[in-house]
Chains A and B, each alone.
Chain A
């Protein structure tokens, strides 16, 4: 009888585990805050810290800092509903939902409903696509750590620094190569390590650590729709008539 109870318990426990948990792979599925520096309160946009960055290559600084021109299309294209891009959209202060299966990790950010579909089957990057705002991402497991490698970007905003300082816009080049390392730090925290490898701008790759915090309460309604074009009344500072 006791043996039956033990088997019954193990069987029930196995059924309650997700496929990802049954192996050594952690399951990142859930609702998470955008990556932030450890200890930071959930809040404004996240930006890379300057003291983490590698030195600029000759000419790199000019590629990194995009001067303001006064043209709102150039100075803040997101005000016209242009995409925020990666990683900027995922550093905005909005929830991120992760859905994980054996073969894919899907990351949906509420800001602009930015979506990443990241294959986990070990495939290589697709060599035949045009550069994009969100790049081409492929994932693989390194023990309990999910490593996401992204390439093939347009030159676009690196992070959300404009949100913090509208006088500066920080860019990555089309040579930008991002490496994310996600690991479950504890039951409610993802350790999120981000490496910027941009050989046109920096002398070496550099890395910064962030955390994503679990917010199960956001799952009650899920990710809200964000259609920027719906009622963008003052694009570039020119408002529609009331």
Chain B
């Protein structure tokens, strides 16, 4: 599976995803009663174990910018899905959904990353939550 073919899906293709199962550290780190959905510009990508992290600058209605960190699956799980460190680039504008960190900091798990052209990348951890495609 190559980037540009399936993982970064062509515009217009809609992904449906199963609810993200808690992964090994999810329950200890994130609060599944606090869903978040943010739009922002990617500032940094950490392609490392045990989970990838990427960061986005989010601007509120008053123009104040806050940097948020989002955790994804382990790099190996991502790469077997065809998602590599180049799938999310600094400067990309993305919409990310996930669940907020338990400590109330500006960190969250990530489920789906949506790009401005409609492409979606599923970044959650568990192997069984690979998205199924539908038109």
The answer to whether B49 and A227 have CB atoms under 8 Å apart is yes
A76 adjacent to chain B (CB < 8 Å): yes
Distance between Cα atoms of A81 and B55 in the complex (Å): 23
Residues from chain B with Cβ under 8 Å of A42 in the complex: 127-128
* Residues of B close to A92: CB separation below 8 A: 24
Q: Which residues of A contact B67 (CB under 8 A)?
A: 242
Question: Nearest-CB distance from B67 to chain A (Å)?
Answer: 5
Interface size class for chain A?
35 or more
- For A236, give the chain B residue with the smallest CB separation: B28
For residue A123, give the distance in angstroms from its CB to the closest CB of chain B. Answer: 33
CA distance A227 to B25 in the complex (A): 14
Q: Which one of A84, A225, A231, A235 has the greatest number of beta carbons of chain B within 10 Å?
A: A231
Asked whether, in the complex, the Cβ of A226 is within 8 Å of the Cβ of B128, the reply is no
In the complex, whether B27 has a CB less than 8 A from a CB of chain A is: yes
Q: Which residues of A contact B76 (CB under 8 A)?
A: 94, 110, 223-226
Interface size class of B (residues with CB under 8 A): 35 or more
Within 8 A of B (CB), among A205-230: 218, 221, 223-228, 230
Instruction: Identify the B interface with A (CB < 8 A).
Output: 21-25, 27-30, 46, 48-51, 53, 55, 67-69, 71, 74-77, 79-80, 101-103, 105-107, 126-129
Could you list 20 A-B pairs, sorted by A, with CB under 8 Å? A72-B28, A76-B24, A79-B28, A79-B29, A95-B80, A163-B24, A223-B76, A224-B79, A225-B76, A227-B49, A230-B49, A231-B50, A231-B51, A232-B25, A234-B29, A234-B30, A234-B101, A237-B103, A241-B105, A242-B106
Q: 15 additional contacts, CB 8 Å, given A84-B24, A236-B29?
A: A43-B128, A93-B128, A94-B76, A163-B22, A223-B76, A224-B79, A225-B76, A226-B49, A228-B50, A230-B49, A232-B50, A233-B53, A234-B30, A239-B101, A241-B105
Question: 10 tightest A-B contacts by CB?
Answer: A43-B128, A224-B76, A166-B27, A79-B28, A237-B102, A231-B48, A93-B127, A234-B29, A76-B28, A79-B25
